[in-house]
Amino acid sequence: MLLIRHSQRANNAVRTTSGAGELFVASVVICMILASFGDAVDPALFGEAGLEFAIFDFGGEFTVLTMRHWHLIQLLLAGAAGAFGVFVLRVFAAGFIRILRPAGRRSIDKVPIGL
Amino acid sequence: MELELFSAAFFSALLAIVLIDLVLAGDNALIIGLVARNLPKDTQRSVIFWGTFGAIAIRALMAILVVYILDVPGFMLAGGIALVWIARKLLTPEENSAENHLVKGPATSFVGAIRTIVIADAVMGVDNVLAIGGAAHGSILLIVLGLAISVPIIVWGSQLVIKLVDRFPSVVLLGGAVLAWTGYSMVVREPLLGPWFEGHPATKLVAAVLIFSISLAPWYAARLSDQMKPLTVILPGVLVWMLAFEVAASVWKLQVDYLLATQTGEYILEAGRWLGWLPLVAGYLWVRERLELRRQHAAGG
């Protein structure tokens, strides 16, 4: 029997993992699939089409085509960066949506705008 | 392939091995305790020592064997497929996880106890050794380091591992992803398939998505609604369908590229490739719904 089965939380990890943990692992998995995508395309063909520079090139090293050479550490770091980016976006988007939401009738006089 | 010492590839492989050791560590202490509980006190001490020694020895022997076995053509593919199954099993929650199926009961003799411990460790450790063999890329140094990490876990580290995965269950998910990634790299490194993958590079992406969709199915199935749950079967099924056409095109020299098709038969084949899976999926959904209704009917009546 595996040691992880002794822990109820680890045994049921697919349900008990926190949102942040899931976001991180999901980002790592996406990076792994992107790396296999870089491994699958013919660089010469992609270069000719000009798509790489149009879509994926963020400054040379961070292209899908170079991701084929990435190792696990790089994929984990990229996954962590991606997850952090999504987290920040979510916080900003939530704040933006909260501003757009109209105030309730009872708290209308608390809105600091003089009509 | 020998990895350069202290390179990013070396540390990545080592990190993969550590993760694999953590999530696939077996409970040897429980097995030794179960086997030795009815033996006299002084024999118990000998069983604990020799049982642990035997478990480490069998793990080392299997690790050495797996390096040579993975060099045999065909075994890299088989190992990669086995890792997909191991990752899936790792992420699937186990009911009655306290039960141990490897040990039927306490041993009555010293030799019987050692034999049970060694066999149980061999059975429990085979997935661990296979995964480490795949992640080590044939490097003996990494295999030795993998053993050096797994042995303390076998002997002393079980409580530490349990605490770690209990505090951070995402380690288990990450372990599943690393196992799937190792499985994919083993499949594409298979010497028998190397030339075929060179000729069909796009199939590497299909293979990667297929491997991740099968390995991580227990994870994303837990997040899907009941109506979307069939996706866990349909997605891998469609990818296998696409791969099958590529394989058939290579084996029977068929033309499955619509840009190069010239005859009616080739166009029909192409239509079958892109649309043929639709009736199969519809049939699967219909059968699944009928079975679900029958189950509900039986439960209600």
Q: Are B189 and B232 in contact (CB under 8 A)?
A: no
- In order of A34, A51, A74, B58, the CA distances from A55 in angstroms are 13, 6, 21, 51
> Which token pair is B299?
């439960």
Q: Which of B195, B172, B33, B45 is nearest to B116 (CA)?
A: B33
Q: Do B219 and A14 touch (CB under 8 A)?
A: yes
Count interface pairs A-B at CB distance under 8 A.
Answer: 147
* pLDDT tens figures, B263-285: 888 888 888 888 999 999 999 99
In this predicted model, what pLDDT tens digit does every residue of A36-88 receive, in sequence order?
887 777 666 655 555 555 455 544 455 566 777 788 999 999 999 999 999 99
Contact A33 B209 (CB under 8 A): yes
Which chain B residues have a beta carbon less than 8 Å from that of A39?
188, 201, 204-205
Between A115 and B168, the higher pLDDT residue: B168
Question: Between chains, do B162 and A4 touch, taking CB under 8 Å as contact?
Answer: yes
Please give the ipTM for the structure prediction.
0.86
> What is the rounded distance in angstroms from the CA atom of residue A50 to the CA atom of residue B276?
34
The two three-digit tokens of residue B23, written as one number? 């999530």
Q: Which of B284, B255, B287 is nearest to B272 (CA)?
A: B255
Interface of B with A in 205-264 (CB under 8 A): 205, 207-209, 212, 216, 218-219, 221-222
Chain A CB contacts of B201 under 8 Å are: 39-42
Distance of CA B157 to the CA centre of its chain: 23
pLDDT digits (tens, 9 = 90+) for B185-201: 999 989 998 888 888 88
Distance from CA of B107 to the nearest CA of A (A): 18
Q: By CA distance, what is A37's nearest residue in B?
A: B205
Q: Where are the domains of chain B?
A: 8-181, 202-300
- Chain segment B13-27, per-residue pLDDT in tens: 989 988 888 888 877
